[in-house]
Amino acid sequence: MTAQDTPSEAGAGVVDQSEHPPAAELIEVTKRYEGAETVIALDAVDLSIARGEFVAVVGPSGSGKSTMLNLLGLLDTPTEGTVRLDGRDVTDLSERALTDARRERIGFVFQDFHLLPTLTAVENVTLPTAFESGEYGSRATILLRRVGLGDRLTHTPDELSGGQKQRVAIARSLINEPALLLADEPTGNLDRDTGTKILEEFAQICDRGVGVVAVTHDELVTEYADRTVRLVDGRLRSGERGGDGFAT
Ligand SMILES: Nc1ncnc2c1ncn2[C@@H]1O[C@H](COP(=O)(O)OP(=O)(O)OP(=O)(O)O)[C@@H](O)[C@H]1O
Ligand SMILES: [Mg+2]
């Protein structure tokens, strides 16, 4: 990856790599599913996400996008290869240590939100912190205001629109101040204006040194991303540049 020596324009916000290891790295990562027919979901993939970098992942259905997101998010382990988080090899960590690393370092925005139906917006946002002490309620409120939901704090998911649920999920993904934010179709349920707002929020998150990876079919996302990588049959084709800051 070459992001470290690329000047940051238009708020791309790539931080100085001499001080920080990449937010996450996949090194020669292969994921194989053995069955009646063996599926190679990822085939020797190398990917490095710098802190402060926004990477969009595109590719046809079945090309390995969700598999890659799950591996980066420590929800799955590779068949071969190495996964690093913040410079630390996490490939062989115990289940318990993986859970801790995930909770402390990674934010998720799942495609179907994964909100708890009986909790309010604020309660859903504070959920990842439930076992910790601290003033998370006010931070949840700040995050919900930032994504434009200041007037929906006590609504439960069934009282929110699809796009509003999406924004609650984004606020929740940020509550633990992750080093890496992973999003599956983050603008999938949003109109263009709201999608733009969310992407501007992602750009600001990047400016604070968080690495963002978004799987998407949305051209708007690739316009905001520093870099777009394409998966085809489990293989990575990288090098495409996003719309701002990285024109060569
Ligand atoms: N548990 C599993 N067992 C066997 N094969 C699997 C399993 N999970 C995924 N696959 C296969 O691995 C390949 C990659 O799947 P993946 O879900 O990563 O694709 P994707 O790019 O996210 O597709 P989509 O855009 O449809 O969500 C597919 O061919 C899929 O059938
Ligand atoms: Mg998928």
- Tell which one of 43, 63, 182 to mutate to probe ligand 1, the residue whose CB is within 8 A of the most ligand atoms: 63
More reliable by pLDDT, 134 or 13: 134
The pLDDT tens digits of the residues spanning 185-201 come to 888 878 888 888 888 88
Where are the chain's structural domains?
50-76+95-241
More reliable by pLDDT, 217 or 8: 217
Contact present, 68 and 26 (Cβ < 8 Å): yes
- Tell which one of 66, 69, 71 to mutate to probe ligand 1, the residue whose CB is within 8 A of the most ligand atoms: 66
**55 closest CA partner among 31, 24, 79, 83:** 24
Amino acid 7: pLDDT: 43
**Residue of the nearest CA to atom 2 in ligand 1?**
33
Query: If pLDDT is split at 50, 70 and 90, which confidence band does 113 have?
Result: confident
Please state the rounded mean pLDDT for residues 105-113. Answer: 85
Q: Ligand 1 atom closest to Cα of 68?
A: 18
The pLDDT tens digits of the residues spanning 7-32 come to 444 444 455 555 789 999 999 999 99
For all residues of the chain together, what is the average pLDDT? 86
Residue 154 Cα to ligand 2 middle (Å): 31
User: Is 90 exceeded by the pLDDT of residue 53?
Assistant: yes
Amino acid 201: pLDDT: 84
The pLDDT tens digits of the residues spanning 80-99 come to 999 999 999 999 999 999 99
User: Is 80 exceeded by the pLDDT of residue 49?
Assistant: yes
Please state the rounded mean pLDDT for residues 30-54. Answer: 96
Amino acid 131: pLDDT: 60
Amino acid 176: pLDDT: 87
Q: Ligand 1 atom closest to Cα of 31?
A: 12
Please state the rounded mean pLDDT for residues 40-65. Answer: 96
**Residue of the nearest CA to atom 7 in ligand 1?**
33
Query: If pLDDT is split at 50, 70 and 90, which confidence band does 163 have?
Result: confident
Domain 50-76+95-241 falls under CATH 3.30.2130.10: no
End-to-end CA distance of the chain: 14
Please state the rounded mean pLDDT for residues 221-230. Answer: 94
Pocket of ligand 1 (CB under 6 A): 33, 35, 39, 41, 59, 61-67
